Structure 1
Amino acid sequence: MRHTCLARHAFPAAVAGLLLLTLTACGTERPGAAATGSAEPPACGPGASPAESAGVPRTGMPGASASPAQDGDASASPAQDGVTIIGTGGGASAGAPSCAVYSVTSRETEPFTYVVTVGFVSETGQALFNVDDTVQAVAPGRTVRRTVTATGHSPDAVGKARARVVKVRSFPTSEAPSVGGTCPPTGVRVYADEGDAAMGLRVVGLHLENCGTMPYRLNGYPRVEIRDEDHDRVDGVSIVQGGDAVAGGTGADGPPQQLVLEPGERAHAGLVWRNTVEAGDPVHAPYARVWAKPGAAPVTVTPELDLGTTGKLGVGPWKKAGEQAGTR
């Protein structure tokens, strides 16, 4: 697997489950070994490749529990969803960007794809920015090492920035959403957008593109199943047809229609909910498993459903792209 360091990417930071490590040299560490100042340059730059170690046995629940490391301690320690920062450091020359090396260990029973958000912060704790890195198809029991770089921050922070695991999202590789690249074997791409939020109302668009060579028929609503952090199904939430069951004017309303998408055509549907919190325990479910139509292969997306205590999610009908959008 070839890997190049990633550029800056803006992403809202989570506040829980963070790992924070002081800068050390990066690029020479191995999972389970303490990072030390090395004469070797960090593995940051075009052509840098992740190292993959031998598999580890599956134990306990999927992923791993968080175990924060102390500043200055760059030893590998368990992190959320099996992701650990094992070293951070500056570039090999003055003015080179800071970098972070992390590892992903899969404790699943099938290949999983991970989206890891690594955040860089200054010595004073000021958030600089986040970097998203996608690790494709990690086999069961395997550990993959990756390197990301922090570009774009001020020169006085070079070599002094620290890194933390902000968020980890994972999918069975067979269900990973697809925005571009090679067309999936199903002939369609399905993914979710970043959505919109206003006054406690949330609207996230589901998008489907016919990237195959044959017409693709849709009729009605996508089927949606809510999943929690551990990918377990969330019960006790009503999934209702039509976004207007939650709020009007979102674009996720109207009657279902029979659609035929020719190759290259797109459709969208909307997920609508409120995050009101009253009596009871609020529901936060990062994942939604989506079937575009009966018999379709499922795709797992991350609408980050903060449903509060409302117990309701509205699902709009499929509409051809060019009609009223599924997000506000």
Structure 2
Amino acid sequence: MRRPHPRLLAPAVALLLATACGAEHADTGRGAGATVPGPRTTVTDPPVDGVRITSVTLPAASPSPTPSGTPFRVHADPLPESGDSGISAAYQVSNDGDEAMTYTVLFDFTTDTGAVMDSRKVTVRGVEPGRTTVGTVGLGALAPGASPVTRVKVAEVTKVPADEAPARTGACPSSGVRLWADDGDAAMGLRVVGLHLENCGKRDYALDGYPELSLLDDDREPVDGIHVLRGGAAIATGTGFDGPPVALVLKPGETALSGLVWRNTTLAGTPVNVPYVRVLAKPGAAPVTVTPGLDLGTTGKLGVGAWRLAGR
């Protein structure tokens, strides 16, 4: 099962697609069943942690009647069951900090009542201080039988220093390795997230032991009171991260695997959520900050597995 991903920011702003003068159908002369380009509706809601939607495009949009004196709402007509829905949102990411940041943004495509029909995650890399980057996120195909999407909202934003951002693809970092976290699994309150380390360089890369972890809060400041335990078995057996550490030498192109293991049990006390984990593959390695969204409950414990060759 896919691990639920905690929402890291307090409540996201729902973007009501409103226009004072309504919207008109676009007549393109296409046949029945074709996706008709709709109008682009400007959105003026405030940003969520530097990210805001500036406009939304819905296909075959038409104004829905509303009580006198209130703005029209943009309404999307039923769409074909396959192919691109034609629904998209333009967004901008503004960095008001003092260092380059890489942003990961989760966009929710919802109905008029707020039900999420689908989500899209976008990574915007290397936004320099004082700069704004713009882009567009598309919904793609809408699932058969899904209700009409009429709103888009910024549901979640995480951001890490650009030189610590994880990357599964692209140019090989100067360190010669790239590290990232997967989406993880969840069952009966047990969480398991894999840490992957690929040797993308031209030299062998030696490992011997466990990755070093620093747990960070929303402001990327250290989180106290959490015990990082060695081995997945410190939390639960059978996770695949129970083995003892062994010396490894990763050849170019090879990948090692570790894992984060925890439970989200909540008893007495205040639940602890840890959005960021700074990872050193070994002492002295370049740090990489991943965003597994640790919902640790009140357990106060996190297990970490020893590095092992992937596939073994």
TM (norm. structure 1) is: 0.75
Checking the alignment, whether the CA contact within 8 Å between 2:117 and 2:146 is kept in structure 1 is no
Q: Does 1:74 align with 2:68?
A: no
Q: Does 1:200 align with 2:194?
A: no
Matching residue's letter, 2:264: N
Checking the alignment, whether the CA contact within 8 Å between 1:276 and 1:307 is kept in structure 2 is yes
Secondary structure of the corresponding residue to residue 118 of structure 2: strand
CA distance in 1, matches of 2:42, 2:264: 38
**Paired residues for 1:114-133 under 5 Å:** 114-133=103-122
Matching residue's letter, 1:232: E
CA-based RMSD: 2.9
Checking the alignment, whether the CA contact within 8 Å between 2:95 and 2:130 is kept in structure 1 is yes
CA distance in 1, matches of 2:144, 2:311: 45
Q: Does 1:98 align with 2:87?
A: yes
Query: Against the structure 1 CA distance between its residues 159 and 86, is the aligned structure 2 distance closer, same or farther, given a 3 Å change threshold?
Result: farther
Secondary structure of the corresponding residue to residue 215 of structure 2: strand
Deviations 1:275-313 (CA, angstroms, capped at 9, x unpaired): 111111110011110000011000011111000111111
CA distance in 2, matches of 1:133, 1:202: 24
Checking the alignment, whether the CA contact within 8 Å between 1:23 and 1:89 is kept in structure 2 is no
CA distance in 1, matches of 2:143, 2:209: 51
Secondary structure of the corresponding residue to residue 103 of structure 1: strand
Partner of 2:102: 113
**Paired residues for 1:1-328 under 5 Å:** 14=7, 16-23=10-17, 74-79=43-48, 81-91=49-59, 97-153=86-142, 161-323=150-312
Query: Against the structure 1 CA distance between its residues 92 and 158, is the aligned structure 2 distance closer, same or farther, given a 3 Å change threshold?
Result: farther
Matching residue's letter, 2:44: S
Checking the alignment, whether the CA contact within 8 Å between 1:91 and 1:159 is kept in structure 2 is no
TM (norm. structure 2) is: 0.79
Query: Against the structure 1 CA distance between its residues 281 and 157, is the aligned structure 2 distance closer, same or farther, given a 3 Å change threshold?
Result: closer
Matching residue's letter, 1:318: W
Partner of 2:31: none
Matching residue's letter, 2:17: L
Give, in angstroms, the shift of residue 76 of structure 1. Answer: 4.1
CA distance in 2, matches of 1:277, 1:200: 10
Q: Which moved more, 1:104-113 or 1:146-155?
A: 146-155
Checking the alignment, whether the CA contact within 8 Å between 2:42 and 2:54 is kept in structure 1 is no
Checking the alignment, whether the CA contact within 8 Å between 2:42 and 2:56 is kept in structure 1 is no
Matching residue's letter, 1:174: D
Deviations 1:225-270 (CA, angstroms, capped at 9, x unpaired): 1111221111110111111111111111222111000001110011
Matched positions, count: 273
Query: Against the structure 1 CA distance between its residues 168 and 132, is the aligned structure 2 distance closer, same or farther, given a 3 Å change threshold?
Result: same
Q: Which moved more, 1:270-279 or 1:149-158?
A: 149-158
Checking the alignment, whether the CA contact within 8 Å between 1:90 and 1:97 is kept in structure 2 is yes
Give, in angstroms, the shift of residue 155 of structure 1. Answer: 9.6
User: Is there any run of 5+ residues in structure 2 with no aligned partner, and where?
Assistant: 27-40, 62-76, 80-84
CA distance in 2, matches of 1:301, 1:165: 20
Looking at secondary structure, tell me which structure has more strand per residue. Answer: 2
Checking the alignment, whether the CA contact within 8 Å between 1:23 and 1:160 is kept in structure 2 is no
Checking the alignment, whether the CA contact within 8 Å between 2:216 and 2:275 is kept in structure 1 is yes
Give, in angstroms, the shift of residue 105 of structure 1. Answer: 1.4
Checking the alignment, whether the CA contact within 8 Å between 2:53 and 2:153 is kept in structure 1 is yes
Matching residue's letter, 1:250: T
Give, in angstroms, the shift of residue 12 of structure 1. Answer: 5.9
Secondary structure of the corresponding residue to residue 77 of structure 1: coil
CA distance in 1, matches of 2:167, 2:149: 36
User: Is there any run of 5+ residues in structure 1 with no aligned partner, and where?
Assistant: 1-10, 26-33, 41-71, 324-328
CA distance in 1, matches of 2:119, 2:206: 39
Query: Against the structure 1 CA distance between its residues 170 and 253, is the aligned structure 2 distance closer, same or farther, given a 3 Å change threshold?
Result: same
